[in-house]
């Protein structure tokens, strides 16, 4: 918006100077352009609302069977208000400061065509625009902390990408002497407009990065996660096994070749107090902690530490702990609820209270797909409470009929087919991610709009450059090639920046969030750079075609 507004203001220097010559006051000039800006805001707002209304039908088509068009809610006026507010704030906040410079144009500027240095007071007008944008974000997010986190993340990302883009633009100077004449002119244009080029690279890079993250990186992460699972990872769960059925179920599975299937008891209990202090959802600010306290836990007992559990603090059961009020707590739960070693927990189980001292904190490999529990007791503590049993095991695909036979023998048991669930989850994820990709296409479109605005802002300069080059003997094809080289290089820089950012983010997600090895994918760099060069190169050449269409003599006469 600011780029387009500066271009608009520059094109009206002469007309404003003429108005000043015939007696127009500064106030009249400001009112004239503010009114024009408001009319533009209303037209753009109406076009945006219509586009958004039509886009929801495209979104429902992408989601497919997950949502039908008949299930879409009827449009209401509520989304219109924040959308129009955001549009007006953006247009007025970032478009008005360049236009306010027009009130300072004296009649003499008709001859000199020079506005002089920018008034620092006009730059200060961008402050309220940024503040209003932040206020709109808080309004939309519904929580100021979340809005500030988002703003900080976006600002940090843009700052890092801007520095990287500026460095890449400056690095082009090292290559200018090693390429042909057309590429040399193109790189010279990028370097000469360094700040503007960096802005374009960042805007386009953000859109490409989002699309790379949602396509290649998403697939890589899912593939890496599946590769990190052992080949014999459990793919079936049996739940709601009654105590009287445990031996029969084990025998049934053993007779069908499924040996060493261990069943674990499960008792439902709610955490009610820590060290004698009652706890509830209202005692925690973290939403996950609130959900944990509000629901019942699956408690269990065992005397043997499972292979995918590891003691991080305290000790495992010793001789004499059986039947005593001691417990082992998973570290993630302990961190969320503020539980430390030595705390006394009180659970309510079937209307009765049970107190236990935390003697160990342990880590659990939840992605092993084995049966695990937040809180574990030694044997003899939960014997008096009603329990059901649970187990997990790996069943080869060719043995699927065994589950149907098991359900016929034990109709009260619930079978969870993890493979089928994961297949369905992947289908849903693919649909949802396709919808997000559909939305992020608007981000890429916004980057192309920034590119187009930057091209239009330098259109006069490009016409003069083209005229001078052609007057000095350069063929039209060379000028066209230089423009294509300029925009293709911008696209390449944006693609490389997007690929680098997507690689760093995917590495962080793989190693820090999902805790599995990162797999390098060179296609991210090839597709990022290739898509950037092709898309931005063609779009830029189309936007700058008027610089080639005008005869040199006409452009030189306007100097």
Q: What is the mean pLDDT of residues 169-183?
A: 74
pLDDT band at 111 (very low <50, low <70, confident <90, very high): low
Residue 146 pLDDT greater than 80, yes or no = no
Candidate from 172-176, 293-297, 399-403, 498-502 with smallest mean pLDDT: 172-176
**Higher per-residue pLDDT: 355 or 108:** 355
Task: Report whether pLDDT(387) > 70.
Answer: yes
The packing angle between helices 194-212 and 476-508, to 10°, is 50
| Res. 119 pLDDT band, cuts 50 70 90 | low
DSSP 300: E
* Residues 307, 316: Cα–Cα separation, whole Å: 13
* Mean pLDDT, residues 188-213 taken together: 78
pLDDT band at 488 (very low <50, low <70, confident <90, very high): confident
SS3 of residue 29 by DSSP:
helix
pLDDT at 442 over 80: no
How far is residue 79's CA from residue 20's CA, in Å, rounded to a whole number? 43
What Å distances lie between residue 318 and 212, 303, 375, 510, CA to CA?
Answer: 53, 9, 17, 38
**Percent of residues, the chain, with pLDDT higher than 90:** 24
448 pLDDT exceeds 80?
A: no
Domain residue ranges of the chain, discontinuous segments joined by +: 1-142, 151-229+418-559, 236-393
Per-residue pLDDT reduced to its tens digit, 66-106: 555 555 566 667 777 777 877 787 777 777 777 777 777 66
Dump the DSSP string for 348-410.
Answer: EETTEEEEEEEEEEEEE-GGG-S---SEEE-TTSSTTS--EEEEEE---GGGTHHHHHHHHH-
Positions of E strands within 14-67? none
Give the pLDDT confidence of 24-45 residue by residue, as tens digits: 887 888 888 888 888 888 888 8
Q: Where on the phi/psi map is residue 271: left (φ > 0), alpha (ψ -120 to 50), or beta?
A: beta
Nearest to 506 by CA among 246, 275, 219: 219
* pLDDT score at 329: 96
Judge contact between 115 and 13, C-beta under 8 A.
Answer: yes
Given pLDDT bands bounded at 50, 70 and 90, which one contains residue 46? confident
pLDDT at 548 over 90: no
Residue 421 clears pLDDT 60, i.e. is over it: yes
* pLDDT surpasses 70 at 401: yes
Here the contacts of 47-54 (C-beta below 8 Å, separation 24 or greater) are 48/83, 48/87, 49/80, 49/83, 49/84, 52/79, 52/83
- Among 62-76, 238-252, 335-349, 447-461, which is the least confidently predicted range? 62-76
Nearest to 7 by CA among 101, 147, 135, 122: 101
pLDDT given at position 178: 72
Q: Is the pTM above the cut of 0.75?
A: no
Question: Which of 96, 111, 91, 95 lies closest to 13, judged by CA?
Answer: 111
């Amino acid at each position: 918006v600011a780029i387009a507004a500066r271009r608009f203001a520059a094109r009206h220097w002469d007309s404003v100077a003429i108005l000043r010559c015939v007696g127009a006051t500064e106030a009249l000039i400001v009112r004239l352009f503010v009114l024009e800006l408001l009319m533009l805001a209303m037209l753009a707002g109406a076009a945006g609302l219509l586009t958004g209304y039509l886009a929801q039908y495209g979104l429902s088509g992408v989601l497919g069977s997950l949502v039908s068009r008949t299930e879409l809610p009827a449009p209401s006026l509520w989304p219109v208000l924040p959308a129009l507010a955001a549009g007006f704030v953006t247009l007025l906040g970032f478009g008005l400061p360049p236009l306010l410079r027009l009130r300072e144009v004296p009649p003499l500027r008709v001859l000199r065509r020079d506005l002089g240095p920018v008034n620092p007071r006009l730059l200060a007008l961008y402050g309220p625009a940024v503040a209003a944008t932040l206020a709109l974000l808080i309004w939309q997010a519904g929580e100021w902390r979340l809005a500030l986190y988002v703003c900080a993340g976006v600002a940090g990302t843009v700052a890092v990408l801007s520095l990287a883009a500026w460095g890449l633009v400056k690095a082009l100077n090292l290559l200018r002497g090693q390429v042909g004449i057309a590429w040399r002119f193109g790189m010279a244009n990028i370097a000469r407009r360094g700040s503007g080029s960096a802005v374009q690279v960042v805007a386009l890079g953000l859109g490409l990065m989002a699309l790379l993250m949602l396509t290649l990186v998403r697939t890589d992460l899912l593939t890496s996660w599946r590769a990190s699972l052992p080949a014999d990872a459990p793919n079936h769960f049996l739940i709601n096994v009654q105590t009287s059925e445990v031996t029969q179920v084990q025998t049934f599975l053993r007779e069908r070749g499924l040996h060493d299937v261990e069943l674990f008891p499960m008792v439902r209990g709610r955490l009610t107090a820590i060290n004698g202090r009652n706890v509830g959802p209202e005692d925690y600010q973290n939403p996950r902690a609130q959900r944990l306290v509000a629901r019942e836990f699956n408690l269990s007992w065992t005397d043997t530490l499972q292979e995918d559990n590891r003691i991080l603090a305290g000790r495992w059961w010793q001789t004499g702990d059986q039947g005593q009020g001691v417990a082992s707590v998973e570290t993630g739960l302990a961190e969320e609820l503020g539980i430390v070693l030595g705390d006394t927990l009180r659970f309510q189980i079937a209307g009765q209270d049970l107190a236990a001292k935390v003697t160990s904190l342990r880590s659990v490999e939840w992605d092993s797909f084995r049966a695990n529990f937040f809180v574990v007791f030694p044997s003899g503590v939960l014997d008096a409470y009603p329990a059901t049993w649970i187990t997990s095991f790996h069943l080869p695909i060719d043995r699927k009929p065994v589950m149907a036979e098991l359900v016929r023998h034990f109709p009260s048991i619930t079978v969870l087919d993890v493979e089928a669930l994961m297949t369905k989850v992947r289908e849903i994820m693919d649909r949802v991610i396709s919808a997000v990709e559909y939305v992020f296409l608007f981000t890429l479109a916004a980057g192309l709009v920034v590119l187009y605005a930057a091209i239009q802002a330098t259109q006069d300069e490009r016409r003069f450059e083209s005229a001078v080059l052609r007057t000095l003997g350069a063929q039209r094809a060379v000028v066209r090639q230089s423009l294509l080289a300029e925009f293709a290089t911008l696209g390449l820089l944006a693609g490389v920046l997007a690929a680098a950012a997507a690689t760093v983010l995917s590495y962080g997600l793989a190693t820090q969030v999902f805790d599995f090895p990162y797999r390098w994918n060179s296609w991210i760099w090839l597709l990022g750079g290739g898509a950037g060069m092709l898309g931005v190169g063609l779009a830029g050449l189309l936007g700058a075609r008027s610089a080639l269409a005008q005869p040199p003599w006409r452009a030189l006469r306007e100097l």
